[in-house]
Structures are given as structure tokens and as C-alpha cells.
Amino acid sequence: MLSVSEAEGRAGALVEAARKAGADAADVLYIGEGSTEVQVRLGALEDVARSEGEEIGLRLFVGRRSASVSSSDLSADALAALVERAAAMAREAPEDPFAGLAPGDRLLHGPMQDLEADDGADPSPVALKERALAIEEAARAVHGITNSEGAGISAGRTVIALATSHGFCRGYTSSGYGAYASVIGGEGGGMQRDSASHSVRHYADLDAPEAIGRLAAERTVKRLNPGKLGSGTMPVLFDPRVGGSLVGALLGAMSGPSIARRTSFLLGREEELLFDPAIVIVDDPHRPRGLKSKPFDGEGVATRPSRLIEGGRLTGWLLNAASARQLGLETSGHATRGIGGAPGTGATNVHLEPGAMSPEALMADIRLGLYVTEMIGSGVNPVTGDYSRGASGFVIRDGALAEPVDEITIAGNLLAMFRALVPANDLEHRRTVNVPTLRVNGMTVAGA
């Protein structure tokens, strides 16, 4: 895996080679990754894996024709062949009036903000094994746990460099660590499973092994002996670990390419009050140690914090250069990029700002409702906003959590759900999309 300066040099040289081959414009993305993963089960080491890899991708433009090619072979001969192949492909490609690099004046200039994305740590496999064993031991020690699906921990580092024919050539590194446990409680047909996990940029920020293991076990034990819930229309509360999927559906509908293709349920609702006026949803690519923090997007455009929803209304779309041109707008710095193909769009570290009430206060007036802790499937229609997913969790009865339930389906329409959404005050930044406990009134619940 190359260093940042080496990766920048390799990407910049490939752009120059593309220009010499007749390209009108080009950009190059380098991604190098290395990771170590340790898995244990029932107190014994199950697997240790170390992987390293690097790829480089070239996007080459001849007029409004373009082609994208990639290679994991970074030798001089392989990269020369890569340029030749991309140039030949681009000349035969159909014209796209919206194709092209991001405008040069929108690219990141000047020093990059310190996002604390790389802690420089390199924990040994032995240390990772000991931590994984401690996680599982803590989970298995909880009364009611009868088996384990295992625990694990990973440690990795990524190097990213992007160069464009505008003269942009920048790179950065990020570290990443994750730990999890998944355990089983009960016997026979009454068995239940649940899990806990934590992902961070800095190794020192990982939850203590005992905390991860104990949480996985406690979640599992609480699910034992589930009952049934009758069908009806009722309030539904979403636990923070699943509530982010509602915001995720919103982000998908805000995608510039979806708007340009007219395949989003948000089309034509730019001025509409989608949420309560108090609702604010923030995208912050500069959050220190954020899981998706980055100084520039997949096209080199400088990132910036923004409010995606303010006063309950949309503030704009998630745009890359191509969708911005198609819509007659400016890129918002939300381009995402893989090694192959054209850029897409996506948000970074997103959170829905908390409300004023605790989760307990939020459910205090509910005579009968559902608290969802797990969802199954992906039943969202991106064109209409119709929503239907399998779920499990707990009955809310007389203002408090009661018995566990499973084999439930919850349904509604995202537009109506957004308007009815009320957040609690328990926001924590632990994921890429973070929300507090969310309440949505008037959902259709199909149970026993």
C-alpha cells in the first residue's frame, strides 16, 4: 500500500499520461486498504485474517464521451495499457451532455482541515484476539445466554488519493476499528439472538469489551419468550439503532441522480413542509473522528457542513457534478466514488437533532403501541414513498415497555411518517446516520 505522497504522485502521473494520450480531461482515484480481522467463538480463536489491496481507477474524457477503467496492477506497463484502453473506449462511447469533471473553482484549495481521521495505531493480532475473547466472555456470562455466534474485532487503514486534470491532487488516510458480539438465548424453538457492535476511527474510542458483550447479551435475554401483537393503527417508536433507516430513505430520495431521473417521492416537494418545523437534519463531513468525515468529495469538491432539513423543509439535493448540470444547479460536494464507473452521490456523517423529551416521556401517553428494535427487509418504494417492513421489538402498554414481540409488519407512507415524526432527547453519535429515539403516530401494524 502506498503512502499518501506516493499515491498522489501515482495518480497525478496517470492523469498526465491520459492527457498525453489525447484526453480532454481526466481524473484518477487511488484506494489502498489494509485490515486485520479476528473472530472467536465459544472461548476459542476461530479465524485471523489479514488483507491488503490497492486499486487505481482512471476516468477519461474525449469531448463529452467518457470511459472508466481500473486496475489492481500498478506497474508502469499496466498503467500504460490502462490509459490506452480508456482512450480507445472513450472514443467509441456515446456522448453525454452532462459528463465532465467538477468545476475547478469548487475544488478544495488550501490546507485540509484536521479531521482526526487516522489515529496512527496498529494493534497487534494478539491484542485484538484478547479483546475479542473478553467481549464474548462478558456476553456468555449473562444469565440466560445459551450459545454464541461469536465475537470479533477488526482494525484497518485506508489511503485515498484523487487527481484531476484541473491540477487538483490531494490525498489522506483514515483508520477504522470495529467490534461486535452476537449471542443466543433460550432453548429449542424458543431461542432468540441479538447483537451489539461499535465502529470508530480511533482505537482508543472503542467501547470497553465488557460493555459490548454485556449489551449483546442483555438485548438477547430481553427478547426471550416473545408474544404476539394484534393488528391495528398505533404509535410506533423506533430505537436509535434502527431509526436511522428512516433518514436513510430520505437521503436516497434526495439523491441528485434520482431527482434528475424523476424517480424520487420528493420530486416537486422542494417548498413543502415535510417535517415538523422544529426538525433539523445535519450533514457534517468535518466531524472530528466521524465515520465518514472527509475533506473533499469523490470529485475533489471541498466538503462543508450543511443542514439538509431546516425548519422541516428541504434545503436542496445531494448533487455531484453531472446531476447538478442536468438540473441546472451547482454541485453540493456530495459526490461519492468507487474505483470503477462514474461518481454517485451520498451524505457523510448525518444526524437528526434531538427533541426535548426523554424516550420514557415520549411514550408516556401511549396506551398500546410498538417499540421497534429490529427491522427485516427493505420494503421502501423510492418513487411513491410507500413503506412496509418486518419488525420485532416490544409492546408499549400504558406508557411503558412490556413484553417482547416478533413477526410484526409495520407500514405507512414516508411522507406521512415524516410529518408525524417526533424525536426524543437521547441522540448519540455512534453511526454514520444518527438519530434519537423516534416516535411516529398512526402507523399500520400487522401482527397476529
**pLDDT confidence of residue 275:** 98
CA atoms within 13 A on the CB side of 17: 21
The residue whose grid cell reads 481524473 is 27
Q: Identify the domain boundary among 190, 221, 252.
A: 221
Q: What confidence tens digit (pLDDT) does each residue in 238-262 have?
A: 999 999 999 999 999 999 999 999 9
Work out the end-to-end distance of the chain between its first and last CA atoms, rounded to an integer number of angstroms. 55
Residues 151 and 251 in one domain: no
Residue 54 pLDDT level (bands cut at 50, 70, 90): very high
**pLDDT confidence of residue 307:** 98
Beta-carbon contacts of 196 under 8 Å, excluding residues fewer than 6 positions away, are 180, 181, 212, 213, 215, 216, 219
**pLDDT confidence of residue 189:** 81
**pLDDT confidence of residue 242:** 97
Instruction: Output the average pLDDT for the chain.
Output: 96
pLDDT average, residue stretch 55-65 = 96
Q: Between 240 and 379, whose confidence is greater?
A: 240
What is the distance of C-alpha 193 from the center of its chain?
Answer: 24
Cα–Cα dist 57/67, whole Å: 11
Cα–Cα dist 98/279, whole Å: 34
Residues 389 and 342 in one domain: yes
Q: Are 187 and 369 in contact (CB under 8 A)?
A: no
Q: Identify the domain boundary among 173, 202, 221.
A: 221
Amino acid letter for position 165: S
Residues 400 and 315 in one domain: yes
Domain that holds residue 213: 4-221
Coil, strand or helix: which one is 290?
coil
Q: What confidence tens digit (pLDDT) does each residue in 399-420 have?
A: 999 999 999 999 999 999 999 9
**pLDDT confidence of residue 127:** 97
Residues 341 and 365 in one domain: yes
**pLDDT confidence of residue 63:** 93
Q: Are 159 and 30 in contact (CB under 8 A)?
A: yes
Residues 310 and 438 in one domain: yes
Residues 179 and 234 in one domain: no
Q: Are 175 and 141 in contact (CB under 8 A)?
A: no
Q: Identify the domain boundary among 155, 188, 221.
A: 221
Amino acid letter for position 269: R
Residues 235 and 217 in one domain: no
Domain count, the chain: 2
- Give DSSP secondary structure letters for 383-394: TT-EEEEEEEEE
Helix H or strand E encompassing 151: strand 145-164
Percent of the chain with pLDDT over 70: 100
Q: What confidence tens digit (pLDDT) does each residue in 275-312 have?
A: 999 999 999 999 999 999 999 999 999 999 999 999 99
Query: Alpha helices, DSSP H only, in 103-237?
Result: 125-140, 209-222
- Give DSSP secondary structure letters for 352-364: EPP-SS-HHHHHT
**pLDDT confidence of residue 161:** 98
DSSP state, residue 380: B
Residues 44 and 69 in one domain: yes
Please say if the pLDDT value at position 447 is more than 90: no
**pLDDT confidence of residue 368:** 97
Q: pTM of this prediction?
A: 0.96
DSSP-derived pairing of the beta strands 386-397 and 368-376: antiparallel
Residues 196 and 291 in one domain: no
Residues 121 and 183 in one domain: yes
* Closest by CA position to 275, among listed 353, 362, 327, 365: 353
pLDDT average, residue stretch 210-222 = 98
Residue 188 pLDDT level (bands cut at 50, 70, 90): confident
Centre a 10 Å sphere on the Cβ of residue 132 and count the other Cβ atoms it contains.
Answer: 29
Q: What is the CATH number of the domain that holds 182?
A: 3.30.2290.10
Centre a 10 Å sphere on the Cβ of residue 207 and count the other Cβ atoms it contains.
Answer: 16
Please say if the pLDDT value at position 152 is more than 80: yes
Cα–Cα dist 263/267, whole Å: 8
Amino acid letter for position 406: D
Residue 448 pLDDT level (bands cut at 50, 70, 90): low
Please say if the pLDDT value at position 11 is more than 70: yes
Percent of the chain with pLDDT over 90: 97
Residues 46 and 163 in one domain: yes
Q: Are 434 and 240 in contact (CB under 8 A)?
A: yes
> Residue 71: phi, psi to the nearest 5?
-155, 145
Residues 265 and 203 in one domain: no
Q: What confidence tens digit (pLDDT) does each residue in 78-129 have?
A: 999 999 999 999 999 999 999 999 999 999 999 999 999 999 999 999 999 9
Cα–Cα dist 357/367, whole Å: 18
Centre a 10 Å sphere on the Cβ of residue 369 and count the other Cβ atoms it contains.
Answer: 25
Burial class (CB in 10 A: 0-12, 13-18, 19+), 330: middle
Q: What confidence tens digit (pLDDT) does each residue in 330-355 have?
A: 999 999 999 988 899 999 999 999 99
**pLDDT confidence of residue 88:** 95
